[in-house]
Amino acid sequence: MCSPPPHQDGGFHRPISLFQSPAVDQFSNGYDHRLPSKRKFDDYALSFDNDQDDEAPLVPVRLRKDDHHHQGTHPITAVHTSSKAPSSSFSASLIDFRPSSSGVPSSSATCSSSRLQFFIRMISEGNTMVVQANSEDTVKSLHERIRVMTGIPVIEQRLIYCGKQLQWEQSLADCAIQKDAGLQLVGRMRSTDHPQTWQVMDDMISLICRLCRGEIVPSSTKRIKECLTKFFTITPKDNNDSAPAHLQIFMASSAPAALVMLYMSTINSNKQCADTSIRHFLTSCRSALSKQLHSCCAPIVLEFCKLLRKVVNEDSLYASCRSTLGVLLESAGTSCALMLPEVKRLIVMQDIFSFVSELADNLSNDLDSSVDSTTSGGPISSDVRDFKAFLNPLRSAILEQVRIPISVEWQKKDYNHPPYGDEIEFLHSIFNDLLDKMEKCLIKMEESFATRGSSEGEFLHSGWSQYLVILKELNGISKLYQGAEEQFWMVLRNRKSSLCALIIRFAKRNDDNRWLLEHKDVTDFESRRHLAMMMFPEVKEDYDELHEMLIDRSQLLAESFEYIARADPESLHAGLFMEFKNEEATGPGVLREWFFLVCQAIFNPENALFVPCSNDRRRFFPNPASRVDPLHLEYFNFAGRVIALALMHKVQVHHFSKGFGHILSDSGLQNSFFQSLELEDLDWMLYGSESPICVEDWKAHTEYNGYRENDPQITWFWEIVRGMSAEQRKVLLFFWTSVKYLPVEGFRGLASRLYIYKSSDPHERLPSSHTCFYRLCFPTYPSMAEMQKRLNVITLEHVGCSFGTW
């Protein structure tokens, strides 16, 4: 039966496979192969022994051979190569075309007079066929016989003679084919918008096929990687219209199946070559393309995962492919609706769920090990990351299709979306299993604290580092099912001490911790403060990026306003460098002093910004009379920035205001910041401890240089401090450190220990300090009375708050 004539747009297509072998036939990528393509004939039935030219310009795409039988109306007879065949070392076959299909009556005389013998050379290989046919035979009949002999579809063939393509309807005589003529058989060049991409892919697959046949190809890994690099180089980086078509060619050419076939090789060098090449692809699809195109790469990586899963256990290459797929899905967004339609069609939720199930099994086993053994490494971070990556699109797909909360007692027959029924049921089982394992792990943590002591932070081991991330994902799943949220938070309330320890140790600045901020009943002050502080950017120590200020003490509020209120918020995130005019002192101690002084000025009733509450002098509200100043709103914004900066730099101040938004890492977190804290939490964070300064705690956190603890001067010093009033101790502490209000933890909450240095000054001199280093210096006073006299001077409010070196 004759094939239909080819369309000009190359509309004839065939399913693609790699080799005629069961090992590869199982690889069906399920991709739509209706793409323009080109073919090279050495990929078909003729198995020539000679090696082909690697530089052949035609494009190889592996096609499954057509099953054929030698029972057509024109039997084929193989004969010896004609002595007049072109002189070459290439092997040849002969096709004997007997009666013509042209309808011309056959007679011995006619056959004798019109009988031709000529040569057809496969240009990509150089292999030659010797052909005998009648001059009246059509070119199309010649194509048919070549198909029977080689398995090459008629639509894929072109015959070239004297530089011209022979047309199907012509006879051999019309084409002026003479005896012993030489014809060239080449592949039909399909119409395609991306011929260079096809060429690169087909060059790579030809090389892989040679390796799979056992050939030794020099620098094979390098050459395959070069093909992959070139593929990504010619793929548009940010063109969402044409770039997907380039990436589809990778699938349509069966490149994933070819690389996996090479990975299955028993030859170690081939396996290593495939491993390196696949990993190179995984890296390139993330680094060489924009994030907008990551979703287009996802079906390719999914295909790698499916093929590898069939032939290997969960080895490192499979795990890398799975992780990369998770990253690509995250880049594409949490909703599959954001994907291109052709991409969404290729990634179904059943595929995604298979990865969720695998990773949940891994996590469950690792959590068991974490409970059973104190030396267990616990859940692997890559498994947790991948579990999160695959869970997001799965959860989003369920939310798009199903009304929540889902009753766990539903009957499948009443379920509106049967394709997701099994997944929803099994995901609930995963939730219950992992929550049960996590509760056991949290109990194990509490037992560890009880055994080792109360300093929980010192005993956290690496096996616990992923617990918080797993709990966050379980919280997300719990929102899908009826009663699951209450079940989840009940577990955390019962294991509050373990959860708080995890928060303080493992909650990071870049994490989304809002799921914890909403539930203050499962946290304590320390953990809530940690979560709140993680909303601020990290203070940078890079002196090239500091926001510098030079302030006149006599114009403290006005000049501070100009430096802070007019600054770009990003510049304030970089850190602060502070100097007072006509003073030598600089450094963190001076910065702490500035915070203290400017906050005093902001809340000074004389400046008409805030009015203290009559019932609690720590509480302030905006002064209704502030509107007389046209800049009053800007000053309120300034006040908010200053207070937020004070928190960011961990400086305790006496008062509090609104306006944190500009200083937080994300201004959208402003409401979350305040809602996550109790009023007392803010008091403690900003005001610090209200308890009198404990001298024993002070002494325990002080070290000596030049003095020893039992020296008379040190003994006198602590005896004098014990006799001071609470306010005098605050002034002394401020003189020493520029810290007037201790953190809630006391001295252990400061950034450094305190130091007392022996100075070489005469004993008539007053003590001095280096507030940046928490260093107090005084000479060897001859008596306790003289030391007390000097200390009384520096504990005067007007002296202690304006005296010190740096």
Query: Could you give the residue numbers annotated as active site?
Result: 772
Q: What is the DSSP letter of 520?
A: G
Q: Number of H helices and number of E strands within the chain?
A: 30, 14
* 272 backbone φψ class: left, alpha, beta (φ>0; ψ -120 to 50): alpha
Cα distances from 744 to residues 539, 595, 726, 760, in angstroms, run 21, 19, 16, 36
Contact predicate 561/635, CB 8 Å: yes
What is the distance between the alpha carbons of residues 53 and 123, in angstroms, rounded to a whole number? 10
Handedness of CA 25, 30, 31, 34 (dihedral sign): positive
| 754-758, strands of its sheet edge to edge | 702-705, 754-758, 775-778, 768-770
Q: What is the DSSP letter of 138?
A: B
Would you list the DSSP string of 231-247?
HHHHS-SS-TTTHHHHH
Would you list the DSSP string of 162-222?
TTEEPPTT-BTTTTTPPTT-EEEEEE-----S-HHHHHHHHHHHHHHHHHHTT---TTHHH
**Strands 610-612 and 620-622, bridge-based pairing:** antiparallel
Residues contacting residue 228 through CB under 8 Å, at least 6 positions apart: 204, 277, 280, 281, 284
Preceding amide of 405 cis, omega within 30: yes
Q: What is the DSSP letter of 336?
A: G
What is the distance between the alpha carbons of residues 440 and 456, in angstroms, rounded to a whole number? 18
What is the distance between the alpha carbons of residues 668 and 661, in angstroms, rounded to a whole number? 7
Provide the 3-class DSSP secondary structure of residue 400. Answer: helix
Q: What is the DSSP letter of 95?
A: E
* 267 backbone φψ class: left, alpha, beta (φ>0; ψ -120 to 50): beta
Question: In terms of C-beta distances under 8 Å and separation of at least 24 residues, what long-range contacts does 715-721 make, across chains too?
Answer: 716/781, 716/783, 716/784, 716/787, 716/788, 717/756, 717/778, 717/787, 717/791, 719/784, 720/784, 720/787, 720/788, 720/791, 721/695
CB atoms within 10 A of CB 748: 11
List residues bridging with 116 in a β-sheet. 133
At 768, which helix (H) or strand (E)?
A: strand 768-770
